[in-house]
Amino acid sequence: MKKLMKGNDAVIHGALLGGCTHFFGYPITPASEIAHSAAYYFTKSGRTFLQAESEIAAINMILGSASAGARVMTSSSSPGVALMSECVSYIAGSNVPAVIIDVQRVGPGLGYIWPEQSDYNMVLKGGGHGVYRNIVFAPNSVQEMADFTYKAFEIADKYRMCVFILADAYIGQMMEPVSFPTKILHAKRKDWALYADEQSRHNLVTSLFMEREILSANIDSLLNKYAKVEKEITEFEETSVSDAEHIFIAFGISSRVALTAVRELRKQGIKVGLFRPKTLFPFPNKRLAELASKVKSMMVVELNDGMMANDVELAVKSKLPVRKFNWYGGYVPSVTELVEKTKKSI
């Protein structure tokens, strides 16, 4: 039977079922319930929960624990994730798997605890230094908070990358019925990790390479890996797209508002659809390019100043108008507002 749960609680169920054994974190609204839930369930089940002294310490504990072969995670919200950035870059540079949940709030600065989607650039375009990428899932329901976290550890281990679950304050705080897999996944032994035994003694986890050729070879191998990831795990969802003349493009909470707006506009005879990236890296460039020759316009609905819209524009290469429908400052538009804005612009 499905359970009614908060997105933030479902994450921890998904993580434990996905084989995560170590949680290191630091509290911050609106992500704190994840840490609360982890403190209860990780401790009770003989896994490890540790409240670190800061996000910086937490992410470095992740680097250590993951290098020792464990499936590990942390959770935070925007300012906390910003603090982790240096080490996220180390994680990428040393090919270490990790899972980070970012329940986005409003910025810049202390902003406030309401939802925004303005960590898009930070999580997708760097945050930390250097040429690197994170795999980024964008859940839009409590079920996806659980499902994405469940599979995040397999994916992180497979590609030896950092996987972000990029949620927002509403997806984290809301409750919905959710069901869980009953098969518990487990980490397998990793030939590169440090196990404090003879077999792994020669292993070295580092992002430092003192020779120019080796250094650039490491970046090449990262780029090859990212290309592979783009081929293999891109996910998206289409609603009423097949006969649509205009489509919304939205992720997370924005896509929920857009979904209701699609129904409303269709009732009024306007043929709109919804295209929802479930992975933001890899970004569904190919499918968007295809759709660019099928529809008249794209309307990117985001709680920021048009960060994903920039990626959509790159994907469709000026074949059609890409409209930016932006709200920020903790404001989630009503369906009526989105409907009106849409009618005015098409």
Partner 1 sequence: MIKHTKPSAFYDTFERKGPGQKTTHYCPGCGHGTVHKLIAEAIDEMGIKDQVIFCAPVGCTTLMYFYFDTGNMQCPHGRAPAVATGISRTLDDSIVISYQGDGDLAGIGMSEIVHAANRGEKLTVFFVNNAIYGMTGGQMAPTTLIGQESKTTPFGRDPIRDGMPIRMSELINTLEAPVFVERCSLGTAAGVLKTRKAVKKALMNQKNKKGFSFVEILSPCPINWKMDAIQSRKWLIENLEKFYEVKNFRDKDTSIKGQGRLPFLSDDELLKVLDVTADTSSDDDNNRVDIGEHKVKIAGFGGQGIMSVGVLLANCAKNAGFNSTWLPSYGAEMRGGTAYASVVMSNDIIGTPVVDTPDVLIAMNSPSLDAFENSVTKGGTIIVNSSIVSRKVTRTDVNTYYVPATAMANELGLTATAAVIILAFYAKALGIFGVDILKAVVPISIKNKKYIEANLRAITAGEMFFDDYKK
Looking at the Cβ atoms of 7 and 284, the one nearer to partner 1 is: 7
| Pairing state between β 48-51 and 22-25 | parallel
Looking at the Cβ atoms of 60 and 76, the one nearer to partner 1 is: 60
Listed residue (135, 50, 129) closest to 97, CA to CA:
135
End-to-end alpha-carbon separation of the chain, Å? 44
Asked if 164 and 124 touch (Cβ cutoff 8 Å), the reply is: no
Q: What's the full length of the chain, in residues?
A: 346
Asked if 284 and 277 touch (Cβ cutoff 8 Å), the reply is: yes
Looking at the Cβ atoms of 3 and 287, the one nearer to partner 1 is: 3
Looking at the Cβ atoms of 237 and 313, the one nearer to partner 1 is: 237
Type of residue found at 74: T
Looking at the Cβ atoms of 204 and 318, the one nearer to partner 1 is: 204
Distance of CA 234 to the CA centre of its chain: 13
Residue 82 beta carbon to partner 1: minimum distance, rounded to whole angstroms: 15
Type of residue found at 80: G
Rg (CA), the chain: 20
- How many Å is the maximal CA-CA distance in the chain? 70
What is the C-alpha separation between 256 and 234, in angstroms, rounded?
20
Listed residue (215, 83, 74, 82) closest to 156, CA to CA:
74
CA-to-CA separations, 287 to 83, 278, 294, 339, in angstroms, rounded:
34, 13, 11, 25
Listed residue (331, 90, 71) closest to 205, CA to CA:
90
Residue 108 beta carbon to partner 1: minimum distance, rounded to whole angstroms: 18
Looking at the Cβ atoms of 128 and 282, the one nearer to partner 1 is: 128
Residue 180 beta carbon to partner 1: minimum distance, rounded to whole angstroms: 5
Looking at the Cβ atoms of 185 and 289, the one nearer to partner 1 is: 185
Residue 271 beta carbon to partner 1: minimum distance, rounded to whole angstroms: 17
Distance of CA 147 to the CA centre of its chain: 12
Residue 312 beta carbon to partner 1: minimum distance, rounded to whole angstroms: 21
What is the C-alpha separation between 57 and 34, in angstroms, rounded?
18
Residue 262 beta carbon to partner 1: minimum distance, rounded to whole angstroms: 8
What is the C-alpha separation between 80 and 57, in angstroms, rounded?
11
Residue 299 beta carbon to partner 1: minimum distance, rounded to whole angstroms: 16
Q: What order do you get walking across the sheet with 236-239 strand by strand?
A: 236-239, 272-277, 246-249, 297-302, 322-326
27 is written with which tokens?
A: 């509290």
Looking at the Cβ atoms of 17 and 312, the one nearer to partner 1 is: 17
What is the C-alpha separation between 95 and 313, in angstroms, rounded?
31
Residue 298 beta carbon to partner 1: minimum distance, rounded to whole angstroms: 19
Residue 39 beta carbon to partner 1: minimum distance, rounded to whole angstroms: 12
Looking at the Cβ atoms of 28 and 113, the one nearer to partner 1 is: 113
